[in-house]
Amino acid sequence: MHQYLNDPTLAVPVFPGSHIVMDDGYIFLSGLTVTDIQGGESVVGDIAEETRWVMRRLARMLEYAGASLAHTVRVDIHLTNLDTIHTMDAAYAEFFEGHRYPARTCTESARLSGSSNVEITLVARRPGEKDSDNKR
């Protein structure tokens, strides 16, 4: 059975969706930009800081759902300018240990919500007894 949750620290979505959807095996997080996060507007324009703000919040959302970034298996990233990918990559890589990176897609999107420059969504495996090697 699916669970539909909203992060209590974020505004209720203005779109018809949930922040977090979980099934028996996976946690799906909706796309997130810094303008979805209170105070995040202050870093709009700095791709590295936008990425860090979003990744920190996604990590907290996973913790709320009982997992961590170490359980992430898939990430989708949208940038308003693909020329900033190397700067974004450097900030993004800070959140994963030992070069254990999830599968990923990164695309250029001409316009993101709230004038943000990066939007990130992810899928994580729900931790279980058999996942002890993933709990790093």
pLDDT in tens, 51-109: 999 999 999 999 999 999 999 999 999 999 999 999 999 999 999 998 899 999 999 99
Rounded Cα distance, 23 and 28, in Å = 9
* pLDDT at residue 27 in the model: 98
| pLDDT at residue number 17 | 87
Q: For 83, which DSSP code?
A: G
Total-model pTM: 0.89
Angle at CA 134, nearest 5°, toward 132 and 136? 100
Task: Give residue 22's pLDDT.
Answer: 96
Domain extents for the chain? 3-127
**Residue by residue, what is the 3-state secondary structure of 28-73?**
EEEEECHHHCCCHHHHCCCHHHHHHHHHHHHHHHHHHCCCCHHHEE
Give pLDDT, residue 107. Answer: 98
Given CATH 1.10.1040.10, say whether it is the number of domain 3-127: no
Q: Are 107 and 75 in contact (CB under 8 A)?
A: no
What the block records as the tokens of 10 is 């974020």
Query: What percent of the chain stands above pLDDT 70?
Result: 94
Report, as an integer, the average pLDDT of 20-31.
96
Q: Which of 7-11, 118-122, 127-131 has the highest mean pLDDT?
A: 118-122
